[in-house]
Chains A and B, each alone.
Chain A
Amino acid sequence: MEPEVMKAEMVLAPTLPFKKVQTADKYPKGQSRGRQWKHLRYLLQAADASTMPPDQPNYLNIQSPPSIYPPKRYCDITGFEAPYVDPRTKLRYTDPEVFKQIRMLPDEYVQRYLALRNAAVVLR
C-alpha cells in the first residue's frame, strides 16, 4: 500500500481487534459467493405479508396510495406543461420546436428520456 493511502486510513483493515468474527472468516476469500442477497421486494413478500396481521402496521401497508389528483403531464425535454404526445416515440412535448427536436433524437436518448418517468420499453 502506498504511504498516502496508509496515512489517510482509507482502507478498512482486514482484521479488527474488537470483532468476534473477522470478515475473512465469515466471507472466505476466493470463494465465489454469488448473489447472496435478495431484493427487498422478495424479502418483504417472503417475510411480512404472511406472518403479520393485516390490522397491524407493517412496512408494506404504511405506503401511501396514489394521488387523488390526475397526474399532470409535463414535457419530457423541457419540463413545461405538455398537451401533446408524439405517437412514434411516446414522448410528451410542449410545442412544435420541441417536437422537431424529438424527431431528431436518437433512439437511445428517447429511451433514456422515457426511463426518467419509468415509461421506457424494457426488453427482458
Chain B
Amino acid sequence: MPSLTRPSRQTDFARFSSSTPIVIDNGSSTFRIGWAGEAEPRVSFRNVVQRPRHRSTGETVSIVGDTDPPLMKFFDCTRSALRSPFDDDVVYQFEYMEYILDYAFDRLGATSEVGHPILMTECECNPSFSRARMAELLFETYGVPSIAFGVDNAFSYKYNQKLGNCGEDGLVVSCEHGTCHVVPFLKGQPVLGACCRTNVGGFHVTDFLRQLLSLKYPYHTASITWEKAEELKKEHCYVALDYMSELHTFKNNKEEAEEKTRYWQLPWIPPPKEELPSEEELARKAALKEKAGQRLREMAAQKRSQKIAGLEEKISSLEELLEQLDEADEDEAAAILGRSGYLSPQEIKSDILKCTQALRKAKGESNGNEDKSDVSGADKYPLLSVPDETLTPEQLKEKKKQQFLKTTTEGKMRAKQKRAEEEALKEKQEEQRRAENPELYLEELRARYSELSEKFEQRKRQKVGGSHTNGNHSSSGGVGRGERLNAAQKERMRLLTSAAFDRGKGEDTFGARDEDWLVYNKMSKDNDDDGNDDDESELVRIASKLKEIDPTFVSKSEVIQLTPEAPKYRPLTAEDYKISIGIERFRCPEVLFQPGMIGIDQAGIDEMVSISLRRLMEDESVKERLCQSILVTGGSSLFPGMIPRLESGIRQFRPYLAPLKLVRAADPILDAWRGAAAFAASSKFGKQTFTLADYREHGENLFHRYNIVYTL
C-alpha cells in the first residue's frame, strides 16, 4: 500500500471549542481520528508502529503508520518488525498504543493540550483491563477531560439505520481485520449477550495468501511481502458462491480455470546478450595488457639492478675489511673482527665467495636466457679445470660437487636425446603405416583408444570405491564413511586400524621379512595414481591424433563432462518470474467461512448467525424480523460475491422459505467512524462519558458493567 500517503498535520485544531469531542475509530487495521459532527475522519493511517534504528545517529525512533519505502534506507529495520498494539481485536500493548495516539493527536494538530472529550471505539465485550489501561493512558498522559467507549459495529449499524438500510431490529455481520462478529440488535440497542465472535478476519486471509504464494514460489519469497499480499487480496480475491463446485471447476475444467487465473509478473530483466568485443576493444585491451607487462618488466629489472648493486657494495666492503685485517696486527684484527661480527677471516672469505656466486647468478639472469644455455662446461663448472694442488680444502669439496653435477646432467641429456630419437622413430613408423593403409591405421587407433579409455574408466571406478557395483547402497540414500573412500584409501584405513589393534597380540614378528616394510608404502598418503600417468598421456595423445584424422570422433571424457552440467544452463525467462494466482483467489477468503482451513476450530461467519440467533432468548417471530435486516459491514465484506454466499449460507440454517434480507453497509470501512461522529455530536453525548473523577472513585470496576446507550 505505498499509494497511501502519509497524512499531513491539520491546522485548525484551535478552532474547535473544548466541548467538541474528538472521535477515534481505533480499528485493528486502520486508525481514524476526526471531529464530532463531521462527515469524514480528518486523519487515518494503518494502526502499526515500528521502532527501527536511525542509521546515521544510531538512536531508536518510532515510526507510526505506513512508510515510504525509499525513505526506509536511512533506517536499520533488522530488529524491528511492524508491531500492532492489538491481539485479535483487543488493545493489549499500551506502549505501542501510546506512540499511535501521539502520532494521531500530532496529526490532528494538537499543540498545547488535548482538552477535548473523546469517543473511542472498541470491540464487543472489550475486557475491562484493556478499557482501564486505555482510560488511564488518555487521562494521565494526554489530560483528556472525559471519555466514552462504544462498539464500532453498533455505530455502523446506527449510521445505516439512519440511512434506511436496516431496521430497528436487526443483525450485524461484521468481517473485520482480526475477527468476525455477529451482533443482534433489538430496538436499536446491541444485545451483547447474544453476540458471537470468531477469531478469523482479513488479516488471516492476507496471511494465508502470503504463505501459500511463498510456499508455491520459494524463490520469490522476498518479493511476496505482507503489503503486496494485501494488495493482491484486495484486487483479485473473491468469494465462491459454492466452494466445492468452484474447486471442481478448477480441477476439471482447464479452460475456465485458466480464464479465472490471474498472473502477477515480477520485474524481470532479460540477461544481457553477450556481444563479441569489437576490434578496437580488443586492441585497447591488448595495449593495456602490454603496458602492464612493460611496467612489471621494468620493475623486475629495477629490482635486479638494485640487488646487483647491493651485492657489489657488500663484496667491496668485505674486501676492504680483509685488507684491513691483513695490514693490522693481532690485537687490532680481533677488534675489527669483533666490530664486523665475523669470527675469522675465513668466514669473511666464504661470505665473499657466496656473494660473488649470487652476483654472478643475478647478472647471468639479467643477460637473458640465451647465453645461459650455451654456457660452456668450463664456465659452469669453473673449478673442474683448476688443478687440485692450487685449491683450498673447501674448494676441493666444491670441485667434487661440480664434477658430480656435471656427470649427472650429461647423463640426463644423453637419455633425453635417446628418448627423443626413439619417439621420432616411432612417429615415423606410424606415419609410414598410415601412408600405407589409412583405413587399417584408423581402425587400430580406435581400438587402442577404446581399450585405453576402458582401462582408465575402470581404474577411476575402482578409485571411487565400488559404489557402482553395489548400487543398492546408494539407493537407500545413506552415504556412509566407507562409501566415500576409494579403494586405496580403504586399504589404508584397514592397515592403520589393524596396526592399531594388533599391538601386543602374540609375538611381534614385524620386520622379520623385507616385505613387511612395504606396508608403510601403502599407508603413506600420496601413493595414488602413479601408474596411471603413462596411460593417461598415451590416451590424450591418441585422442588428439584421432581428432586430427577422424572428423566424427568425439572424446569420451568430453561427453562425460558435458552431461552433468547441462541442466544448469537453462536461462531464466520471464515465465519464471510470473506468479499465478488461481485457486488462491477464492481459497483464501474461504477461511472466513471455514476457519478450520487454517486450524481455527470455530464456526464460520454464516454459521455464526445461527449461533447468535440461538443465543438470543426470543421467540421465532423476533428472529424472523431480525433476519430481514442483516447488515454486512467491515473491510473483509468487500470481497466480490460475499453477499450471495452469505445469504445462501445463512439460508441453510433458517427454516424453509423463511424471509431473509442482506444489505451491505453504505461504506463498510468508514461507517463506524461516521456513526460514532454523529453519536458524539448529539447533545446527550455528555451523559455517556465518564471523567477522571469517576475513574478515580470506581477504578476498574467502572468498566465491568460499562455500556453506553446508543440510541440517543
Binding site for B on A (CB under 8 A): 1-2, 4-5, 8-13, 16-21, 23, 26-27, 36-40, 43-44, 47-48, 51-52, 56-59, 62-69, 71-72, 74, 78-81, 94, 109, 112-113, 116-119
Give chain A residues whose Cβ lies under 8 Å from the Cβ of B94: 37
Give chain B residues whose Cβ lies under 8 Å from the Cβ of A112: 211, 215
Determine which of B102, B126, B601, B602 lies in contact with A12 in the assembled complex, contact meaning CB atoms within 8 Å.
B102
Known interface pairs A10-B6, A109-B215. Does A19 touch B141 (Cβ–Cβ under 8 Å)? yes
Q: Is the CB of B127 within 8 A of A1?
A: no
Listed stretches B340-348, B493-501, B603-611, B621-629; interface member = B603-611
Give chain B residues whose Cβ lies under 8 Å from the Cβ of A80: 247, 250-251, 583
Determine which of A63, A78, A94 lies in contact with B198 in the assembled complex, contact meaning CB atoms within 8 Å.
A63
Give chain A residues whose Cβ lies under 8 Å from the Cβ of B6: 8-10
A105 to B365 alpha-carbon distance, docked (Å): 65
Known interface pairs A43-B127, A116-B598. Does A13 touch B106 (Cβ–Cβ under 8 Å)? yes
Q: Whose C-beta in chain A lies nearest to the C-beta of B54?
A: A1
A10 to B65 alpha-carbon distance, docked (Å): 9
Q: How large is the interface on B (under 10, 10 to 19, 20 to 34, 35 or more residues)?
A: 35 or more
Q: Is the CB of A20 within 8 A of B611?
A: no
Which 7 A-B pairs rank lowest in CB-CB distance, beginning with the nearest? A118-B599, A40-B87, A71-B596, A18-B110, A117-B599, A12-B62, A11-B61
A44 to B130 alpha-carbon distance, docked (Å): 10
Listed stretches B111-119, B431-439, B572-580; interface member = B111-119
Sample of 8 more A-B contacts, CB < 8 Å, known A12-B103, A57-B192: A23-B102, A59-B127, A67-B604, A94-B251, A112-B215, A116-B208, A116-B211, A118-B599
In the assembled complex, the CB of A27 is this many whole angstroms from the nearest CB of chain B, namely 7
A69 to B595 alpha-carbon distance, docked (Å): 12
Which residue, of B112, B114, B127, has the highest number of chain A Cβ atoms within 10 A?
B127
Which residue, of B63, B112, B141, has the highest number of chain A Cβ atoms within 10 A?
B141
Q: Is the CB of A67 within 8 A of B142?
A: no
Q: Is the CB of A64 within 8 A of B142?
A: no
Determine which of B92, B103, B197, B584 lies in contact with A37 in the assembled complex, contact meaning CB atoms within 8 Å.
B92
Q: Is B95 an interface residue (CB 8 A)?
A: yes
Determine which of B98, B111, B195 lies in contact with A23 in the assembled complex, contact meaning CB atoms within 8 Å.
B98
Q: Is the CB of A65 within 8 A of B611?
A: yes
In the assembled complex, the CB of A65 is this many whole angstroms from the nearest CB of chain B, namely 6
A62 to B128 alpha-carbon distance, docked (Å): 15
A54 to B332 alpha-carbon distance, docked (Å): 117
Which B11-60 residues sit within 8 Å CB-CB of chain A? Answer: 54, 56-57
Q: Is the CB of B112 within 8 A of A17?
A: yes
Q: Is the CB of B195 within 8 A of A68?
A: no
Q: Is B238 an interface residue (CB 8 A)?
A: no
A117 to B207 alpha-carbon distance, docked (Å): 12
A66 to B602 alpha-carbon distance, docked (Å): 4
Q: Is the CB of A62 within 8 A of B197?
A: yes
Q: Is the CB of B596 within 8 A of A65?
A: no
Q: Is the CB of A64 within 8 A of B611?
A: yes
A4 to B143 alpha-carbon distance, docked (Å): 33
In the assembled complex, the CB of B679 is this many whole angstroms from the nearest CB of chain A, namely 21
Q: B114-141 toward A: CB 8 Å interface, digit per residue (1/0)?
A: 1000000001111111100000000011
Known interface pairs A37-B93, A47-B128, A67-B607. Does A113 touch B215 (Cβ–Cβ under 8 Å)? yes
Known interface pairs A40-B92, A43-B127, A117-B597. Does A68 touch B607 (Cβ–Cβ under 8 Å)? yes
Q: Is the CB of B88 within 8 A of A64?
A: no
In the assembled complex, the CB of B500 is this many whole angstroms from the nearest CB of chain A, namely 39
Give chain B residues whose Cβ lies under 8 Å from the Cβ of A68: 603, 607
Q: Is B74 an interface residue (CB 8 A)?
A: yes
Give chain A residues whose Cβ lies under 8 Å from the Cβ of B142: 18-20
Q: Is the CB of A79 within 8 A of B584?
A: yes
Q: Is B704 an interface residue (CB 8 A)?
A: yes
In the assembled complex, the CB of A103 is this many whole angstroms from the nearest CB of chain B, namely 13
Q: Is B71 an interface residue (CB 8 A)?
A: yes
Q: Is the CB of A48 within 8 A of B128?
A: yes
Q: Is B232 an interface residue (CB 8 A)?
A: no
Q: Is the CB of B140 within 8 A of A8?
A: no
A51 to B230 alpha-carbon distance, docked (Å): 40
What are 12 contact pairs spanning A and B, CB under 8 A?
A2-B56, A12-B103, A36-B95, A37-B92, A57-B193, A59-B123, A62-B192, A64-B602, A66-B601, A80-B583, A81-B247, A117-B598
Give chain A residues whose Cβ lies under 8 Å from the Cβ of B198: 63-64
Known interface pairs A64-B611, A119-B599. Does A47 touch B192 (Cβ–Cβ under 8 Å)? no
In the assembled complex, the CB of A29 is this many whole angstroms from the nearest CB of chain B, namely 9
Give chain B residues whose Cβ lies under 8 Å from the Cβ of A47: 127-129
A119 to B600 alpha-carbon distance, docked (Å): 11
In the assembled complex, the CB of A91 is this many whole angstroms from the nearest CB of chain B, namely 12
Give chain A residues whose Cβ lies under 8 Å from the Cβ of B68: 8, 10
Give chain A residues whose Cβ lies under 8 Å from the Cβ of B98: 23, 26
In the assembled complex, the CB of B708 is this many whole angstroms from the nearest CB of chain A, namely 15
Known interface pairs A8-B6, A9-B9. Does A79 touch B247 (Cβ–Cβ under 8 Å)? yes
Q: Is the CB of A43 within 8 A of B92?
A: yes
A38 to B94 alpha-carbon distance, docked (Å): 11
Known interface pairs A81-B244, A117-B598. Does A18 touch B105 (Cβ–Cβ under 8 Å)? yes
Q: Is the CB of B126 within 8 A of A59?
A: yes
A39 to B90 alpha-carbon distance, docked (Å): 11
In the assembled complex, the CB of B105 is this many whole angstroms from the nearest CB of chain A, namely 6
Q: Is the CB of B197 within 8 A of A63?
A: yes
Give chain B residues whose Cβ lies under 8 Å from the Cβ of A109: 215, 218
Give chain A residues whose Cβ lies under 8 Å from the Cβ of B587: 79
In the assembled complex, the CB of A106 is this many whole angstroms from the nearest CB of chain B, namely 10
Known interface pairs A1-B57, A11-B63. Does A44 touch B127 (Cβ–Cβ under 8 Å)? yes
Q: Is the CB of A5 within 8 A of B128?
A: no
Q: Is B67 an interface residue (CB 8 A)?
A: yes
In the assembled complex, the CB of A81 is this many whole angstroms from the nearest CB of chain B, namely 6
Q: Is the CB of B247 within 8 A of A64?
A: no
In the assembled complex, the CB of B8 is this many whole angstroms from the nearest CB of chain A, namely 8
Known interface pairs A44-B127, A62-B124. Does A57 touch B583 (Cβ–Cβ under 8 Å)? no
